[in-house]
Structure 1
C-alpha cells in the first residue's frame, strides 16, 4: 500500500482560489485563540470523518489484496473489471452494512460509553479518593508491621545464606 506522503493534491478548478484560501487558513496560535470563537465541526458536513487517524489500517485498495507478478498476467480487461468489481463491492457492501448497522451500533456504543462515564465518575473516582485519603494511615500501619515482623526475619535469612557460595562449572561428557 502506498503511504499518503507520496500523494499529490491536484487542483482542477482555480476560479474560487481566494475563497478556498479563506476557508483553509491555518488556525491562530493557542495564545491568540479563544474557545468561543473557534468553530466546532458539525456532524452534517465534516471534511474528514477520521481526523485522528483511528482507522488508518483500513485503507485497503485493490493492489493491496490482489497483485499479479511480472511472470504471469491475465487479460487487461479481466484485470480492469476485477478492480472495478472489487472497489464496487467494497464501497457498496460497506454502504449497505452501514445502513443496517450504523444506527444500532452507534446507539449501543453511546450507551456503553455513557455507562462507563457514569461508573467512572460515580464509582471509580470516589473509591480512588477514599484510598488516597486513607492511604497515609494504612501506609504507616503497614510500615510498622514490616519493620517489626518481616524485616528481622529477612535479615536473619540473609545472614544465614550469606556464607553459601555456588560454583557453576560445565561438565564434559
Structure 2
C-alpha cells in the first residue's frame, strides 16, 4: 500500500474542551460529547433508569481516529492481482472477490466476538496493575533516590564543569583547525 495514500483516508476529529464563554463567530459551539435532549426528555432524564444519551455515540463511526491501523486497510486487489497476460473468467473473479470480502468480514467478526472481551479485560487488568505499581512503588522510590543523591548530582556537575568541559573544548578547538579540500585531477 502506498504511504501517501494513508494520509488521504484518515479524518481528523477536533474536540474542544475549553470552558471559555467568548466565541469568535458569535455562535454557540456544538456539544461533541453529549447529544442535546429533546424537551420531553429533559423532564424524564433524571427519573428514567435507562438514559438514552451516550457519551460515545458521536465517535462510534470513527473507531481509529489516529490512524493506528492504516496498514490493515487491505482490499481484494491488494491481496489477489491478476496480470493482464493471464486472466481468469469474469465470473470466477467476481465470485472470488465476493467470497474474499464475506470471509474477511465474518471471520473478523467471529474472532472479535470470541477474543475482544477477554483481551479487553486482560489489557485493562494489566494496565491497572502496572499503573498502581508505577504510582505507588516506582515513583516514590525514584523520588527517594533523587533526594538522597542530590549531592551526587552537584558533584557530577562540578566534575563536568572543571574536567570534562575544558578538555572537550580544547579538543574541539584543536580539531577545528583541520580542513579537507577535495580537488579533481
Fold equivalence (TM over 0.5): yes
Q: Which runs of 5+ in 1 are unaligned?
A: 8-25, 156-173
Match of residue 94 from structure 2? 80
Q: Whole-Å Cα distance in 2 between the matches of residues 86 and 75 of structure 1?
A: 16
2:160 paired with 1:134: no
> What TM-score do the two structures reach when normalised by structure 2?
0.57
* Partner in structure 2 of residue 116 of structure 1: 130
CA distance in 1, matches of 2:58, 2:122: 21
Whole-Å separation in 1 of the counterparts to 2:9 and 2:16: 28
Q: Secondary structure at the match of 1:49?
A: coil
Q: Gaps spanning 5+ residues in structure 2: where?
A: 22-27, 35-53, 168-185
Higher RCO by CA contacts (8 Å cutoff, separation 6 or greater): 1
Q: Name the count of aligned residue pairs.
A: 133
What is residue 16 of structure 1 aligned with on the other side? none
CA, structure 1 residues 140+29, in 2 after alignment: closer, same or farther (shift >3 Å)? Answer: closer
When residues 109 and 27 of structure 1 are mapped into structure 2, their CA distance, relative to the original with a 3 A threshold, is: closer
- The higher radius of gyration belongs to 1
- What TM-score does the superposition give when structure 1 sets the normalisation length? 0.60
What is the rounded CA distance, in whole Å, between the counterparts of 1:44 and 1:89 in structure 2? 29
Distance in 1 of aligned mates of 2:59 and 2:16: 22
